[in-house]
Structure formats: structure tokens, C-alpha cells
Amino acid sequence: MERLDVRPGGVYVDATLGGGGHSAEILRRAGPDCRLLGIDRDEAALERASRRLESLPGTKVFVHGNHGDLGRIADENGFDAVDGVLIDTGVSSDQLDTAERGFSFRNDGPLDMRMDPGCGETAADLVARLDAAGLADIFRRYGEEPRAGHVARAVVKARDLAPITTTGQLADIVSRSLGGPGRSRGHHPATRVFQALRMEVNDETGELERALTGALEILAPAGRLAVITFESITDRMVKTFFARHTGRLVSLQQGGERWEGELPRMSPVTRRAVTASDEEIAVNPRSRSAKLRVAEKTGRM
């Protein structure tokens, strides 16, 4: 909230409404004259969050959609010069903890993983359709699984015997192929593979790239963009995006100065990624891999 610089009467976009925790705090700080646009691709989350936020001050607009379409959604709802955009990427605790949504290797459920259960291919469809090379590519790219090829071959071998339709089945196959739970220090051996499939099913990197571009378009001068990521691949994307737009002014020999870098311009608010404190991790262990980066759109264009 501090780095997003939430101010009374401001105009904000929460591009990942989720449980509405961040939005609740934005509304409390920005007060009765503020406007907030909350977006989520998960209709159940949207419904729950809008109920939770009902009694808080401010004008709220909730939209079911993908934040990749941020520019269009904001435009259609009259949010064209906003003071702040927050993108808290990935899966929510609600989604992770609901076995039927199929995100978790700890609770058995259908192998689904779609954040919007109304559209697209499920993780089970993906696991059934791709060949070993295709699966390995996803496990490597989005999960940074060091033994991606080996795990992918184990998955293909197992699905030839019986279709893989549940999270428990997949967790077992991956875990056995990696030598069982004892082999991965600190986390479940299927963590990387589950993360990779979830990111592919929901095109998380594609959506994020489009959301960053859209956010920059709708920010007013001095508006701030705050992004929280949980994986190294998405953190790298944010870092690169900010670096691309936070060029520098170079002095010209003939006098004056010239901007080096892409337009529009941003200046960094956080020099390095901000991570959770030990106290926060103690009460909210899922914050341990969170990285926050914030940049401000510059006034001069």
C-alpha cells in the first residue's frame, strides 16, 4: 500500500482481485471519493470479493475478465487515467485450498487448474495431449524442473496404462519418478511440475506481458504500477519490462538531452524486489517466494 502510494480520492485498478484483501485496504485508505476497478478471471472469486468489499467506502466496479485485456476493460469502464495498478499474479489461496479446482498436489481433486473454469483446456487435457518433448518443455520453461525430460517420460508411460485425471495420480507419478518425497529438500517433489502446468493452462506469462503493457497505457503521469510475482520466470519478466521502460536521459553534445529507452517512461520506486519479512513469512508462509516491484510513470512524455 505504501509503495503503491494509495491516496484519498484516487483511482485504482486491482487486476487480480482474488479474495479482495488488497482491494479492501486500498478502499480503506482511499476513502469515499475513490474509484476502484477489480478484475478477476475467476467468477467465484469475483463474487466473494465483491460481497466482502460491499460495505467499504468508494465507487467499485467489478469485471469478470483477463487482465491481459486490461486496456480494453479499463477503457470500457471509464478508468483511463488511473493513479495505481496492482497485479498480484498467480493462484489464490482459495483456489489452492479448494481440491475441486485441481491446483493442489496435497488435496486430491480433478486435474483441472483453470482459473476460469468456464473456458480453455484443463491440465488433464494437456497431460493427455502433449508428447514427452512437449511436456518436458513446459516443465523446464515454467517449472525449472531440472529432470524435466525424465519426469515427462514417466508421465507418458503412466498415461499409456491409465488416463491421468486427478491431482493425486499426477503427484504420485511425478513423486515416484523423482525418487519419492525424501529427495526434494523442503518441498513436495511435484511442486515444479504443478506450477508449470498451471502456468501453461492459464497462459500466465502471456497474460502478464499484456497486462503490464495495458497497465502502462492507462496510468496517469505519476501513477504507480505494483506487481507481485511468485516464480522466477514472472519476476524476470517484470524486471525486464521495468528496465525497458526506465531508460535514461543522456546529455547531447550540442546541448539538451535525449531519452534512451522505450516510451512511455517509468522510474523505479523499488530498486530491488521487495520480499516478505521473517515475521510475515511466519504468519503467512505462502509469502516466502513473493517479490514486489513498483515503478512510477513519469510526468514528462
Ligand X SMILES: C[S@@+](CC[C@H](N)C(=O)[O-])C[C@H]1O[C@@H](n2cnc3c(N)ncnc32)[C@H](O)[C@@H]1O
Query: What does the binding site for ligand X look like in residue numbers (CB under 6 A)?
Result: 16, 18-22, 39-42, 45, 66-68, 88, 90, 92, 115, 207
Instruction: Return the number of other C-beta atoms located less than 10 Å from residue 5's C-beta.
Output: 17
Of 100 and 131, CB closest to ligand X: 100
* Minimum distance of ligand X from residue 68's CB (angstroms): 6
Of 177 and 202, CB closest to ligand X: 202
CA–CA distance, 221 with 203 (Å, rounded to integer): 30
**Backbone φ, ψ for residue 292 (5° rounding):** -110, 130
Of 83 and 204, CB closest to ligand X: 204
Q: Which residue has the cell 517512461?
A: 265
Nearest one of 101, 186, 194, 77 to 143, comparing CA atoms: 194
CB 88 within 8 A of CB 18: yes
* Minimum distance of ligand X from residue 45's CB (angstroms): 4
Name the CA radius of gyration of the chain, rounded. 21
CB 76 within 8 A of CB 150: no
Residue 68: all three cell numbers together: 491481459
**Backbone φ, ψ for residue 104 (5° rounding):** -105, 135
* Minimum distance of ligand X from residue 233's CB (angstroms): 15
Please name the helix (run of DSSP H) or strand (run of DSSP E) that holds residue 184, with its range, or none: none
* Minimum distance of ligand X from residue 110's CB (angstroms): 17
Of 41 and 265, CB closest to ligand X: 41
* Minimum distance of ligand X from residue 101's CB (angstroms): 10
CB 215 within 8 A of CB 74: no
* Minimum distance of ligand X from residue 100's CB (angstroms): 15
CA–CA distance, 41 with 118 (Å, rounded to integer): 10
Of 66 and 195, CB closest to ligand X: 66
Of 21 and 261, CB closest to ligand X: 21
Position closest to ligand X via CB: 18
